[in-house]
Structure 1
């Protein structure tokens, strides 16, 4: 979801100030190595037959299913929705269930049944009068939230249930065994909230100058929670931030609305014939093959409907298969246009619904942006599987299967700013993109918002970049865009791997940082080919399933052949920033006259080594000696009892004499040809320290004295043996004038002031040599050995 700050001024009182501590996952605390490159094995869930170590679903993976048959009626005058639903729940798990959990998200607006999670708040220097009304309202039942009127099994027998804030537990009349299904019915109604005042995903927007309403019906029906192999029931309360984990199923929904309303919805309408005029049906037929958006409901028709409100009703019927949720919109204000797009030869009807207030933007851009989005996301993940994709302008930003609510209104004269245009395009791409993440690759948004928002924001960035090469960057991809966030004090930061309710700065944490991290993987660490293959494999494996973070981490490594545990650790599990400092650059040249060490034969006096390890205490050896069930081969087989067998037991005397050992030179001065070749080379040592803690590749730009440039890329693994500082040697064909770290701002380095070295020192000189061709055999130990000297003594040497 593209979070919108649409709450009234009253809610500005509620300032979130909670924070959580990053998990200490260091394996070698106090050391300069062995922490950031340790594997994640002790942190990730243990692989099993449901979820494998490769990141793929296991051979016994399962997930539940839930089908809905819903009838509802919208009362525009009273702003209420009344509904009845028949729910069929399939227990595909191996477990027996005794109750079901449902989500009642509309209770968010209730003053008595909301999640009741509190944040710190203050009294501002000036206060909107509506704030006082809201504070007063919270003292009593404001009438919002679900009213459950009936709950029975398929035979009409009442079912017991318990409402806990935004959740409802339904007691099953008999245990629901593996492979069984349970059908139940419920009737309900609720008062629809003014979304522009109360906030939230669903509700209405009122246009007082006309007396018209625009309804976005989202999270509008009681629906099943996910029951899964990794956590059982996902029944976390809904506070308005963490979104939802939902079960796939088939939907049939009948919406009865004012007859002059236009309805857009998840799924395909099966009764357009009953609801469209003759001209509108002809335009719908034309849109099926058009290369440009065709207005099914024209601007003139929408304007006419605004002034002529009818008292009659119409029913629109939609069906959707294999979706995890269902949303719809209804208003007489809508212009509706459509055109097809093709994904791997399959037609997808791309459509937009928008009021006259956004006509000059949406008629030009919206439906084409929808088409571009589903084609681009299909390229980077899986082919779009649904028959329609829709964008609705509702001064909002929220996503559901096949339909999303966006913003983008013009000035009254039809003009708009550049920021409005690109903001609209960005939110359309983002919300349509949510069809893939998490509507199809169905992660648990309430627990891991980043798996929804972060992954989607990353592909949104790729899609924006492919829409227009001049598309203004809005912070969801380039590494530099996350720097200001990563500079913040630690009490303003949490690891990405945090529950969505516990995050102080939700946008950077759930959207920007994970999106930026994936782009760093793609552009800087893995490369596009490896990354794109692995990311598509993740999408393919987990389409229409319930992935967890470990499934993503493991799949990305499994499909690419890259060990990325160090990156997941640093970027996702800690708040450490990247701050690489270019501390020093040293310059060297070869010198044929420089002194050479080690090119002369020499001798030294040495003593023989005593028996190895025979006097050290060893409890295992002692116990083995005393165990009568153990026999040692060297005791049974005398052929194994050599000189050192006897030496270790004192049966060969230790020789304490000193012997002269001749050590021939292993190197010689390089010949003239080699010296001449090396004389034209320039050698540099680059000293870099890690001041931020987060390990990243070291990217070095060299600027030569002739003005040309060159970039070297050193993988992050250079920090393995010392996570605080590294030194790296380079040989260049030209003399260097200056050195710079991270020239393209790829690593999110928070302090660029220490990334430059602009004054090169005078060169130090070193000698050049080559090895002599007299390497000793690998089996020979240097110097002398006791066996050899013992044999010489026996022979009288």
Structure 2
């Protein structure tokens, strides 16, 4: 029997949700909650972070500079490295230890974060999966994860350290404010099979040609962030919540097989030593090519390298300044192309690395998409500050400063499906866009995934829309988030939730915040106000560590819009938008004689007899009833009869009143009426009156967008701001007067509010008109007014037809 027999099954994993606190100001009321200011929900402004959302006069952040040397052993699949770290303490605090991230320990069976979710017994499984699930009673280390050889200070003295799963604490002499500390770490680890074992970094093996593609990410021990708002950010790395990192300068030397092509964060400063003269000449040509990519390493050269593997070694040296991380890739399979994209008066080198398996897609689209992305993001945020931006085809999607790893491979014949093409373009735009969020605007991804993925998905959407007007964007349009918003509340959590506690990770951290920002831009603020404020946020927090409060406050500060109701609803709550058109009252004018009815603005009229009713509540509450039924309670007017008066009896119906003797009471001034002329009646005969009554069934307050279709075929859209709900968060109404008759009414005709039930959004003719009397006022004083293409595709069919 074949030892690789398989038993197939499906597994179910359960998760837990954690809900962010959404403090209500008036929880028992139908108003006063959703429009209340966020107040104490946000962190208190201080000298580091101001109430305007800008960094304060005493804002500070730490810095870490790295000098790293490493060697890749392709035969043993190991990476060995040594690094010198210079840590700058810019905080006002004295530090006696430093926290380091050892993310590669994620793959170790004994030193991973050990965050577990519920599991169930499957109906069946493969033997490979079964090996992963087996829990030995005496666990044996699987050999993965970072092995620390030694840690020393600048003089070579050993430092004490403690490894806690994916984190390491190094004890240091007291490091005072303004001082720096230099220390060294030597380490080694076994590189994982990224395709079989998952994860962001590792290797992919190509059995057809016997070669590897390495993506080296989270590959070196690196500093945690020490911040004014949190102290050490030393949450364990579980594989989901990404990274909080410190800016600094990197110099990295990578020794690899001599026929490997290397791409990495920053600029290579020794191309003349590692490239052939022809390749170097092509690279120099690409530096001025702004219209089309130039192949630095050709497809023919990549295929030749695949076939003849070198045993020699070469060292590539990269320099990257003011970045928060460093990643790199190496393979002899790479085709490499490049072109220049002008940004703010200088050329940015846009480059792509890919194997022959992706050539049909990447040679045409990848580098162009890189150039388009950094140009578009620059327009919406700040000018791209780095010298290069790179896309690597590695059958995944992950981002690092100046380099990212994407997917998109063709069929064997070079054709591909449209979904593969669009998926490839989407992931390239998304991952390259991460250069801005969070590589430059450096939020804490491990705590607030949405500040990374959500903001980036939003600008990705803007960039996709500017890539092709027909591009099928999936994150950003309001209607695409509706299936998620319709889920039961026990399957939802607020956007403001910790990364590890989110069940529906993609919709919550990517799509919902992207949709919210797009609604804010298109429907609530308008593009001009939104774009100015968003650029201001990007400018203020470039190369700094913003929190959600900094974003919320800046967007309001720079636009002059009170958006607390929006942040409260979309980011702190789980309510959905479901605005219903409950009823429509409509009428034509009637012309009675005499004065207008009560409520009109008229002069000189008196009301008739009016007797005040007993001042008792129409509804007796439970306290009144229980007090009356409690034999121990004695009311004062029962104990002291002198406290009773006429109204004590009146309220109880114990006296009779002769209403014919009641005096008339003067009323507020009214305007006297007169009869309409025939011409005037003809004028107002063409007026149509409508009262629209709305319900907020979903709980999320949003603008009401009303589209009127008139019987002559014309249309008009009225955009009612969300503040219409501020005095009653459940019901709202609006009165309209038109010169032509309405045939039908529809709410949210462009589906821009993510309304989860469109069945209650329409009204048509057929209802009985209401009575509406029109009075003529004599006075002139009026009232105020991932993947890869597989199988058949259209490209193949089109080729066959030729």
Residue number in structure 1 paired with 2:61: 63
Look up the SS of the partner of 2:570 in the other structure: helix
Deviation string, structure 1 residues 696-751 (Cα, Å, up to 9, x no partner): 11011111112221111100110001111111111112101111111110111111
Query: Where does 1:406-555 land on structure 2 (aligned, <5 Å)?
Result: 406-474=406-474, 476-555=475-554
Q: Distance in 1 between matches of 2:237 and 2:369?
A: 31
Residue number in structure 2 paired with 1:341: 341
Residue number in structure 2 paired with 1:149: 149
Q: Distance in 1 between matches of 2:96 and 2:423?
A: 48
Look up the SS of the partner of 1:764 in the other structure: coil
Q: Report the CA distance shift for 1:460/1:129 in structure 2 as closer, same or farther (over 3 A).
A: same
Q: Distance in 1 between matches of 2:593 and 2:462?
A: 55
Residue number in structure 1 paired with 2:225: 226
Q: Is the 8 A contact 1:666 1:771 kept in 2?
A: no
Matching residue within 739, 742, 757 for 1:736? 742
Q: 1:659: how far off?
A: 8.1
Q: Report the CA distance shift for 1:206/1:765 in structure 2 as closer, same or farther (over 3 A).
A: same
Deviation string, structure 1 residues 162-192 (Cα, Å, up to 9, x no partner): 00000000001x2100000000001000000
The unaligned stretches of length 5 or more in structure 2 are 1-5, 612-660, 782-802
Q: TM-score, normalised on structure 1? A: 0.87
Q: Report the CA distance shift for 1:661/1:514 in structure 2 as closer, same or farther (over 3 A).
A: closer
Look up the SS of the partner of 1:477 in the other structure: coil
Query: Where does 1:352-751 land on structure 2 (aligned, <5 Å)?
Result: 352-474=352-474, 476-593=475-592, 596-597=596-597, 601-602=605-606, 666-669=670-673, 672=677, 675-751=681-757
Q: Distance in 1 between matches of 2:202 and 2:146?
A: 13
Q: Distance in 1 between matches of 2:774 and 2:58?
A: 63
Q: Is the 8 A contact 2:15 2:501 kept in 1?
A: no
Deviation string, structure 1 residues 523-577 (Cα, Å, up to 9, x no partner): 1111111110100000000000000000000000010111110010010011111
Q: Report the CA distance shift for 1:70/1:663 in structure 2 as closer, same or farther (over 3 A).
A: closer
Q: Is the 8 A contact 1:437 1:455 kept in 2?
A: yes
Q: Is the 8 A contact 1:702 1:738 kept in 2?
A: yes
Residue number in structure 2 paired with 1:115: 113
Q: Is the 8 A contact 2:7 2:127 kept in 1?
A: no
Q: Is the 8 A contact 1:683 1:729 kept in 2?
A: yes
Give the superposed CA RMSD.
Answer: 2.2
Residue number in structure 1 paired with 2:29: 31
Residue number in structure 1 paired with 2:243: 244
Q: Distance in 2 between matches of 1:147 and 1:379?
A: 44
Deviation string, structure 1 residues 455-507 (Cα, Å, up to 9, x no partner): 00000000000000000122x11100000001111111100000010000100
Q: Distance in 1 between matches of 2:478 and 2:592?
A: 48
Q: Distance in 1 between matches of 2:128 and 2:78?
A: 22
Q: 1:99: how far off?
A: 0.5
Q: Distance in 2 between matches of 1:103 and 1:662?
A: 80
Q: Distance in 1 between matches of 2:472 and 2:668?
A: 68
The unaligned stretches of length 5 or more in structure 1 are 1-7, 608-656, 776-797
Q: Is the 8 A contact 1:667 1:770 kept in 2?
A: no
Residue number in structure 2 paired with 1:44: 42
Q: 1:589: how far off?
A: 2.0
Q: Distance in 2 between matches of 1:718 and 1:215?
A: 57
Q: Report the CA distance shift for 1:348/1:662 in structure 2 as closer, same or farther (over 3 A).
A: closer
Residue number in structure 2 paired with 1:620: none
Q: 1:248: how far off?
A: 0.3
Residue number in structure 2 paired with 1:787: none
Q: Distance in 1 between matches of 2:577 and 2:692?
A: 18
Look up the SS of the partner of 1:42 in the other structure: helix
Q: Is the 8 A contact 2:242 2:446 kept in 1?
A: yes
Q: TM-score, normalised on structure 2? A: 0.87
Q: 1:581: how far off?
A: 1.1
